[in-house]
Amino acid sequence: MGAILVQHEQVACPTREGKMMNLGSDAQHRIEAYLTRLRRCLRVLSDEDAREIVGELRSHITDKALATGEATTTGVDTALATLGSPEELASEYLTDALLARAEVSRSPARIIVSLFQWASLSLAGFFVLLASITGYLLGILIIVPTILKPFHPQNAGLWVSRGSDGDLAVSLRLGLGGGAVPVDARDVLGWWFVPVGMVVGCGLVMLTTRFALWCARQYRSSRALPPG
Helix (H) or strand (E) holding 78: helix 73-83
- Tell me whether residue 16 or residue 106 sits nearer to another protein (CB atom): 16
Residues between 54 and 113 with contacts to another protein, criterion CB under 8 A: 55-60, 62-64, 66, 82-84, 88-89, 92-93, 96, 99-100
Q: Which of residues 7-26 bind another protein (CB under 8 A)?
A: 12-16, 18-19, 21-22
Give dist(CA 36, CA 54) in Å, integer: 9
Q: Report the C-alpha gap between 35 and 53 in whole angstroms.
A: 10
Q: Which residues of 1-19 are buried (b: 16+ CB within 10 A; e: fewer)?
A: eeeebeeebeeebeebeeb
- Minimum Å gap between C-beta 49 and another protein is 8
**Contact indicator for 139, 204 with CB cutoff of 8 Å:** yes
Per-residue DSSP letter, 15: T
Task: Decide: is 219 part of the binding site for another protein (CB under 8 A).
Answer: no
Edge to edge, what strands does the sheet with 168-173 contain? 168-173, 157-162, 186-187
Per CB under 8 A, 184 contacts another protein = no
Between 85 and 120, whose beta carbon lies closer to another protein?
85
Report the residue number, 103 or 165, with the smaller CB distance to another protein.
103
The DSSP secondary-structure symbol of 163 reads -
Q: Give the total residue count for the chain.
A: 228
Number of residues that bind another protein (CB under 8 A): 38
Q: Does 35 engage in binding with another protein (CB under 8 A)? A: no
Maximum distance among all alpha carbons in the chain? 85
- The smaller minimum CB distance to another protein, of residues 166 and 226, is found at 226
The residue ranges that bind another protein (CB under 8 A) are 12-16, 18-19, 21-22, 49, 52-53, 55-60, 62-64, 66, 82-84, 88-89, 92-93, 96, 99-100, 221, 223-227
